[in-house]
Amino acid sequence: MAAKKDIKDLALNELAAELESLGEPAFRAKQIFAWLYRRGKATFGEFSDISRGLRDKLEERYFIGRLEAVERLRSGDGVQKFLFRLGDGNRVETVLIPSGTRRTVCLSTQAGCRYRCAFCASGLGGFQRNLTPSEITGQVLFVKDVLGEEPTNLVFMGMGEPLDNFDNVAGAVRIMNAAEGMGIAARRFTISTCGIVPGIERLAKLDLQVNLSLSLHAVTDRQRDRLMPFNRKYPLEEIVRACEAYLESGGRMMTLEYTLIRDVNDTRNDAEGLAAIARRLRAKVNLIAYSPVPGLEFAPPEDAAVKEFVRWLEERRVQVTERRSKGADIAAACGQLAGHKKGETRETLETGGKRETGKAEKRGRPGRKAESVGTRTAKEPRGSGRRDDPPPLNARKKRAL
């Protein structure tokens, strides 16, 4: 008998087709969606308006995926971070960011990341695998059903590059957007990319009016090649053109994410380059002061440098929001998600079980809730193997750009 599949990997139309193949009316798909996503039921036996016969058929063929949180951390600024252990032992993180009436959930889309941006913890352990639609929507359901918090905004800015897992991310958005699913309006979704041109082009052709955010972080190819090595495959001009086409296709407004790193991308020239791109894309800029990552030697900018950078942008008529990166004390801020438990470092994981005390632990604050530490061996990341350009900024050897 074939292995059971996760029913939450199916979009509404796919579930309807499956039901028809089982000799059942397609409209039952809407009822099943309501049980899965509106009422958050975990067993087929609870689907009380579905016949016993159909429940048995579902039970034979499917299981209902559910994420298991192995750690929950609370930041002093209200941010919460959850570490989930997936069925195969991989781990990913999700962040809940409350702000006024907003409840923003920052979602992971991959276990690890293949792109290895020099300032980001998610790429340090390399790429493990893509998350399934069920594992992506499961992060939102955890916040909804387990915590009782109703998410208002969903941003795909956690671990992984969303457009590198295009089909599953789009599938998850459709499930969450469907009126019979979670019924979350498309304008509440923001898909972030570091600049995967074919993914931006595909997104432009989708009938989903989600927001697009470009993680820019550097404004010349030379800078970007070093900070974000895959830029050698998709240079800046190609990315900006793909974004222009996205806007022309009727896509919603764009934002540019720019992590300000001391002595790396914080000059007036950088601000000028950023302003030029922002004006071209009619984009707002979210400016985020870099949050330290253990093992990386980049430094956050001084407050005065952030203010000056904001002023330079505003002088150039760019709409800029200085985003205080929340959750830094629990390693939940932008670029800090690594799929580790509190106190673990990449070195800890690579010892295959022997616990070592790393920088993260030394910096950790006492009194936070954390469970005991399990370990796994992180796979080595793939090399990019692309053009013969300058090497990327290494995690431990920062060079002047």
In terms of CB distance, is 62 or 119 closer to ligand SF4? 119
Q: How far is CA 65 from CA 10, 29, 36, 84, 309, in A?
A: 11, 17, 10, 13, 45
In terms of CB distance, is 32 or 293 closer to ligand SF4? 293
Residue pointed to by tokens 């750009």: 401
- We find the least distance from the C-beta atom of residue 274 to ligand SF4, in angstroms, to be 17
In terms of CB distance, is 159 or 285 closer to ligand SF4? 159
- We find the least distance from the C-beta atom of residue 120 to ligand SF4, in angstroms, to be 3
**Cα angle value 241/243/244 (rounded, 5°):** 65
Give residues in contact with ligand SF4 (CB under 6 A). Answer: 113, 115-117, 120, 122-123, 159-161, 194, 215
In terms of CB distance, is 123 or 358 closer to ligand SF4? 123
Helix (H), strand (E) counts: the chain: 12, 14
The SS3 assignment for 92 reads strand
Asked if residues 351 and 375 have their Cβ atoms less than 8 Å apart, the reply is yes
Catalytic residue among 18, 93, 135, 161: 93
Active site residue 243: no
- We find the least distance from the C-beta atom of residue 132 to ligand SF4, in angstroms, to be 18
Active site residue 93: yes
- We find the least distance from the C-beta atom of residue 394 to ligand SF4, in angstroms, to be 14
Asked if residues 306 and 265 have their Cβ atoms less than 8 Å apart, the reply is no
Neighbours of 154 (CB within 10 A): 27
Backbone angles phi, psi at 59, to 5 degrees: -60, -35
Catalytic residue among 106, 120, 194, 334: 334
Q: How far is CA 191 from CA 108, 110, 286, 306, in A?
A: 11, 14, 14, 25
Residue pointed to by tokens 């387990």: 146
- We find the least distance from the C-beta atom of residue 298 to ligand SF4, in angstroms, to be 13
In terms of CB distance, is 111 or 283 closer to ligand SF4? 111
Catalytic positions are 93, 334
